[in-house]
Amino acid sequence: MSFLAQNGATCPKIFVGGLSWETPAEDVKQHFSAWGNVMDVMVPKDRETGRSRGFCFVTFDSFQAADQSLGAEHELNGRRLNVNPAVAEAVTVDSAPTKRLYIGDLLSSTTDDELKAAFSAFGALEDAVIMRHPDSNESRG
């Protein structure tokens, strides 16, 4: 069993810190492809400046690839990277830990029932909410 799976990871995702603000996702993908097939690279941006926040998340297609990348030292664009297992953020509501998943770019025609049906295939849902504009009641997407 992989290190990530043994420690509760539900997907082969790693956290990469220490990125240069100028490093594009494609450079990250190319670098980490040496350890396996990279399915996704998500580089969070500052809302005000649009600039990288200096870290990203890399999702591999296998736990083995993610584990191998964790065991290596990484340098990209002249910077040493800090690589760790990605940990799901627990949100505390009324002192009870919960997990939330934000889904963006929904079609405005998507209904609450369609959203629930799509995600209930992966397990029990506590709630599913589509954020709506208060004036028009249209989906915010």
The pairing of beta strand 74-76 with beta strand 55-60: unpaired
The structure tokens 């959203």 sit at 115
Q: Can you give the pLDDT at residue 94?
A: 61
pLDDT of residue 3 exceeding 80: no
For 34-92, give the DSSP string. GGS-EEEEE--B-TTT--B-SEEEEEESSHHHHHHHHTS-EEETTEEEEEEE--PPPEE
The structure tokens 């997407």 sit at 141
Which tens digit of pLDDT belongs to each residue from 33-55?
999 999 999 999 988 898 999 99
**Domains of the chain, earliest start first:** 3-85 (3.30.70.330), 89-141 (3.30.70.330)
Please tell me the pTM assigned to this model. 0.62
Q: Can you give the pLDDT at residue 7?
A: 61
pLDDT, average across residues 115-123: 82
Which tens digit of pLDDT belongs to each residue from 77-116?
999 999 998 877 665 556 556 677 777 777 878 888 888 8
Which tens digit of pLDDT belongs to each residue from 54-84?
999 999 999 899 999 998 999 999 999 999 9
